[in-house]
Amino acid sequence: MHELSLACSLVDLACQRAQEEGASRITALEVEVGALAGVMREALAFGFEAACRDTLAQGARLVIIEEPAKGVCSACRVTCRLARFTITCPACGAAALEISGGDRLCLRAIEVA
């Protein structure tokens, strides 16, 4: 359940950014969740509610932007979408696939009032 810890970090980042701008309330967090980020959406949403309590983000909406996983093969240079973690290139079969997207959890933006 590392999602609770990650949710707390996201809320901390949001509060820092809001304070820099002198905003008094955060109404939404836009969070990118990569398909290979190793994060369960439901667990993140559950942790998010708890993490927002008694902060500037209390009552904020969690807007999840799902990012599909992408890979690029360093042997044949093909780029592809990935359904799960693998290093085998679906085009040429080489064990040379590198993840090129969809493996991170990040705070893209916040909405403040």
Q: Does 77 bind other proteins (CB under 8 A)?
A: no
Q: Does 51 bind other proteins (CB under 8 A)?
A: no
Rg (CA), the chain: 17
Rounded to whole angstroms, what are the CA distances from 112 to 10, 22, 24, 60, 79?
Answer: 15, 10, 8, 9, 37
21: left (phi over 0), alpha (psi -120 to 50) or beta: alpha
**Residue 38 or 101 having the CB closest to other proteins:** 38
Shortest CB 17 distance to other proteins, Å: 5
The residues of the shown chain that bind other proteins, judged by CB under 8 A, are 1-2, 5-6, 9-10, 12-14, 17-18, 21-25, 27-28, 31, 38, 85-88, 95, 104-113
